[in-house]
């Protein structure tokens, strides 16, 4: 390895070490979200709701909290859909580009039979996910399944 190559390699390594030491670009760990996601993974809707309700009391400006709270409510038996929509709308007010909230509110609209509103959120995801994203794919599939069920009636 020549002197120039070693010098370039040293610069690259130095830059990598310096970047690793600067954690400002790394997302902060959110214990509340982790606890909520763990409860959701277990389908423990009351626990997820309790964690997220407490999280929202501490930080009502967090779109992720609103999104997951609405998800936990709608996933439980006998969901209060007015509360579900309230929190999805708040998540989208706080972060209009929140892909998860667009997907989930679209699915919630399907739950109440509002296919047009679900399609509106699919279009929004289409604009946000120019090269595709899982949220777009999931909502598109949910809409297609809803349409298949409706066609069988």
Block mean pLDDT (10 aa), the chain, length 153: 45 36 59 97 98 98 98 97 98 98 98 98 96 96 96 89
CATH of 30-152, one of 1.25.40.10, 3.40.50.300, 3.40.50.2000, 3.40.190.10: 1.25.40.10
What pLDDT score was predicted for residue 24?
44
What pLDDT score was predicted for residue 88?
98
What pLDDT score was predicted for residue 6?
44
What pLDDT score was predicted for residue 126?
96
What pLDDT score was predicted for residue 1?
55
What pLDDT score was predicted for residue 20?
36
What pLDDT score was predicted for residue 28?
78
Tell me which residue of 79, 78, 107, 105 sits closest to 91, measured CA to CA.
105
């Amino acid at each position: 390895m020549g002197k120039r190559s070693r010098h370039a390699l040293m610069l690259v390594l130095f830059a990598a070490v310096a970047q690793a030491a600067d954690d400002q670009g790394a997302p902060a760990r959110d214990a509340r979200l982790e606890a909520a996601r763990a409860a959701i993974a277990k389908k423990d809707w009351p626990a997820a709701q309790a964690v997220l309700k407490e999280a929202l009391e501490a930080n009502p400006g967090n779109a992720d909290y609103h999104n997951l709270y609405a998800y936990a409510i709608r996933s439980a038996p006998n969901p209060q859909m007015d509360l579900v929509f309230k929190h999805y709308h708040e998540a989208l007010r706080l972060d209009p580009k929140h892909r998860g909230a667009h997907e989930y509110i679209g699915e919630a609209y399907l739950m109440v039979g509002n296919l047009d509103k679900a399609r509106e959120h699919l279009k929004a995801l289409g604009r946000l996910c120019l090269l595709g994203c899982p949220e777009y794919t999931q909502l598109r599939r949910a809409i297609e399944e809803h349409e298949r069920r409706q066609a069988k009636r």
